[in-house]
Chain A
Amino acid sequence: MASLKDVQTKIGGVKKTSQITSAMNMVAAAKLRGAQQKMEDFRPYTEKFNQAMTSLSANMESGQFPLMEVRDVQTTVEIVIVTSDRGLCGSFNSNIFKATEKLIAQYESEGKKVSLVCVGKKGNAYFKKTGKVRKAYTDIMGTFQMFNARAIAQDVAANFLAAGSDKVHVVYGKFMSVAVQKPSVELLLPVQPEASASEDAAQAGAAAGDYLYEPSPTEIMDVLLPLYMNVMIYHAMLETGASEHAARMTSMDNATRACKDMIQELTLLYNKARQAGITAELMDIVGGAEALKG
């Protein structure tokens, strides 16, 4: 049986851990609120953007834009992985890794090469040893700046145009709810605006023929396509950010609860040890008294 002192130290340690985890839980909750707000603010922008893209691309040949070109022979597939910069958020990052690895395995079995662009420290740390990482952006997940997304989008687009990759996917942690975050894979390049089945889009597409364009539709498209990539990557970053905080919140909540259980168990153990000690001492005294009577 563990000695009294040992158990006491252990209880102290677990208590301190639970203080840290519950503080982290609260910090994550506060940060989640901010990240969620940003995500919601961004939503109208993406919606409007997609609307315009669909109505614009409806009456245009996709072949004339290099960023929309679908290449038949694909040799290299690029995957942009958006993960968090920090750990201690449960299985959040490893779920993204798993989804990515599945994708890599799928492409490699088809005899294609895969190159990775890692956004967030954790992804880079995990995939570094595979030697597939082409570029890594770390320490940018905390601030969510549009220009970070732009830098990434420009780099990815340049690589695509230079035929360094023939297809680009983005993998990120989609924020479903505070309790559920799902790794999600989306096609980034070649750009294929959502062929949404909704009647709205079809209507907008039909009406697009009557639009006046300034400058020409082609030139507008040239401006919109890179912007579209910005939007996609920024969106992925925001989703991952919110998911990260939500995941950390739940996992820290679990950790705090586990700490409480542990403290309870240890306290029981401590009390047992204490009682055993008292009993042993009493036995000693009684034994001594008996011996003196002798």
Chain B
Amino acid sequence: MAEKIKLEVVTPKGAIVSEEVDIVTAPGFAGEFGVLANHAPFLSTIKVGTLRYKKDGNESELMISGGFCEVSNNKISLLVESAERGHEIDVDRALRAKERAEKRLMQAREKQENYDRTRAEAALQRAMARLKIAQHKL
């Protein structure tokens, strides 16, 4: 295989991933972006979504929530608030969270409360991202 890039995913609960990988695809602010070895120095904020990386042909997925990402010296570090693998996700909980968030979103829309709305939207995004990954595993 060609050259590799070092991937690090760090959350407040410690480093989740620290591996040499072939390609990383992350949900950036302006859409998904892919990073290969020897990428130019790059800094971006990260949205809630799926982080994919390939190592020797094996693809792995992680659910990550907001943070930011730095690429420099053939190393990509993601600092995110949480990162979960597919099998760690509690599907029932995510489903419940999704329903709850949808309900809150409706209420917030009626009352036109922006604060509640942004919070509910964020919760909904997280729940959806979790479900997406969990379903991939099934």
Using a CB–CB cutoff of 8 Å, the interface residues on chain A facing chain B are 38, 40-42, 44-45, 48-49, 52, 56, 146, 204, 207-208, 210-215, 217, 219-220, 223-224, 227, 234
Contact = CB atoms under 8 A, between A and B. Distances in A.
A219 B43 CA distance: 11
Interface string B67-100: 1101010000101010000000000000000000
Contact of B12 (A212, A215, A224, A234): A234
Interface centre among A38, A45, A215 (most CB of B within 10 A): A45
A214 B29 contact: yes
Interface string B1-15: 000000010111111
Contacts of B67: 227
Interface residues of B, number: 24
Contacts, number: 71
13 contacts: A45-B10, A48-B10, A146-B12, A210-B41, A212-B41, A212-B43, A213-B43, A213-B44, A214-B33, A215-B45, A219-B45, A223-B45, A227-B68
B28 interface: yes
B30 A212 contact: no
A219 to B, nearest CB: 8
Contacts of B15: 44
A220 B10 contact: no
A228 B67 CA distance: 11
B106 interface: no
Contact of A214 (B14, B30, B72, B79): B30
Contacts of B77: 48
A215 B29 contact: yes
Contact of B42 (A42, A211, A219, A224): A211
A214 B28 contact: yes
Nearest to A235: B12
A213 to B, nearest CB: 5
Given A207-B41, A211-B42, A215-B45, A146 B81 contact: yes
Given A45-B11, A52-B68, A146-B12, A211 B79 contact: no
A212 B42 contact: yes
A49 B14 contact: no
A211 B70 CA distance: 9
